[in-house]
Structure 1
C-alpha cells in the first residue's frame, strides 16, 4: 500500500512539473526590460522563444515574430529544441507512468509494470534535465550581456517564465527519482516476503524424529517397565 501511495505522489509531482514546463514554452516574459519615466513606466520590452514585443504605458502591445528560424541566434534555436524535447519526453513519461503504476489495471504482470514505471521515471528525469538546461542557457545569455561593460545594446533581466521553467524542471526530476526509488522498494519488499515465506514454510514443515532420542526414550520406557515388573514380582 505504501509503495502505491509513493507512486501516486511521484505521478502528481511529475504531472505538475510537466504542465509547468509545457506552459513555459508559450509564456511571454523570458526576458524583460523597462524604460522608466518620471512617474510611470513608459515602455516595457519583453521577449520569448518566438517573438519580441513592446508594451507602452497604456497597455497596448506591439509584437514582431522572429522572421527566420535559420537567422536566429544559436542559443534560441537550442532552447527551442530542448523545450520541445522536454514536452515530448514528459508526454511519453505520463503514458508510461499510467501503464506502470500499481493502481492501474493495465500493463501486464507486476514485473512488466515495474519496468514500465522505471522507464517513466527516466523519461521525467530527462524532461527535467532538458528544461533545466534550456532555462539556464537562456538565463546565462541574459546575465552575461547584462554584466558585460562592453555590451552597448539594450540590456534585459530575467523574466518570470524562467523561474516557472526551473520549478517545473525540479518537480520532474524529483518525481522521476521517486518513481525509481519506489521500484527499488518494491523489489526489496518482494525479496523480503519471499524470504519470510521460505522461513515460514521451513518452520511449519514436519520434523523427523531423532533416532537416538527415540531409542533413548524406548530404553527408558523398557527400563521403567522392567523395574516395575521386578518390583511386582517380589511383592
Structure 2
C-alpha cells in the first residue's frame, strides 16, 4: 500500500511538473482583445512571461520577446522567478525521489531512503506553493484590471489558459508531495511509538528481577 501511494505521488508530481513547464513556456497568460466598431478592427494579443504575440487574423501570429528596455510589471518579474523555482524544485524532487526508490542501488542504506522520499515530498510541496503563487498574483491583477472603471470598453483583458494550467499544475504538485510524505510520516510515528512498549517491558522485567 505504501509503495502504491508513493508511486501515485511520483506520477501525479510528474504530471504537475509537465504542466509547470508548459505554463512557463507558452505565451498564454494574458489575453487582450481590441474591438472596434467594425469586425475588421478587432485584434487579439496574448502575452506570457517571456514573449508577446499579436494575432491579426486566424492562423497568423507576430511574436516578439520582451526586450531589456521594456518595462515589465512586478507580477511578471515575480512570475518569472517563481516559475523558475517551481520547475527547478520539482525536477530536484524527482531526482531525490529516484535516490530513495528501492530500485536504485547506489543508496543502500535503509535509513536514508525514507529520508530521501520525505525530502522529495517536501520539495514537491514547496514547488506547488510557488506555482500557485506565480499564477495567482497575475490572475488577481488581471481580474482587477477587468473591473477597473478607467479601462476602455474596446479593451478586453482576460486570463489565458496558462493561468488555469498553472493552478492545475500547482495542485498536482501539492497532491503528489502529500502522497509521498504521508507514508513516511506514518512510518516514523509507528517506529517512534513502538519504542515505548519495549522499554516498558524491559523496566518491568528489571523490576521483577530486582524483587
Which runs of structure 2 are paired with 1:88-99 in the superposition (5 Å)?
A: 88-99=88-99
Cα deviation digits, residues 143-181 of structure 1 (max 9, x gap)? 111111023493410100111111010010111111110
Shift of 1:129: 0.7
CA distance in structure 2 between the aligned counterparts of 1:65 and 1:31, rounded to whole angstroms: 15
Instruction: State the partner residue of 1:12.
Output: 11
TM-score under structure 1 normalisation? 0.75
Q: 1:51 to 1:108 in 2, by over 3 A?
A: same
Instruction: State the partner residue of 2:47.
Output: 47
CA distance in structure 2 between the aligned counterparts of 1:78 and 1:150, rounded to whole angstroms: 25
Using the TM superposition, name which of 112-121 and 44-53 deviates more: 44-53
Cα deviation digits, residues 181-215 of structure 1 (max 9, x gap)? 0102333555688899x7xxx9xxxxxxxxxxxxx
| Unaligned segments of structure 2, at least 5 residues | 203-211
Shift of 1:109: 1.6
TM-score under structure 2 normalisation? 0.82
Which runs of structure 2 are paired with 1:181-200 in the superposition (5 Å)?
A: 181-188=182-189, 190=191
Cα deviation digits, residues 9-35 of structure 1 (max 9, x gap)? 111111111111111110121111334
Aligned to 1:157, the other structure's residue is in SS state strand
CA distance in structure 1 between the aligned counterparts of 2:43 and 2:70, rounded to whole angstroms: 29
Instruction: State the partner residue of 1:143.
Output: 143
Shift of 1:39: 6.6
2:134 equivalent to 1:128: no
Aligned to 2:111, the other structure's residue is in SS state helix
| Unaligned segments of structure 1, at least 5 residues | 203-235
CA distance in structure 2 between the aligned counterparts of 1:20 and 1:194, rounded to whole angstroms: 43
Aligned to 1:84, the other structure's residue is in SS state helix
- List structure 1 segments (4+ residues) > 2 angstroms apart after TM superposition: 33-43, 101-108, 150-155, 185-196
Give the superposed CA RMSD.
2.8
Instruction: State the partner residue of 2:23.
Output: 24
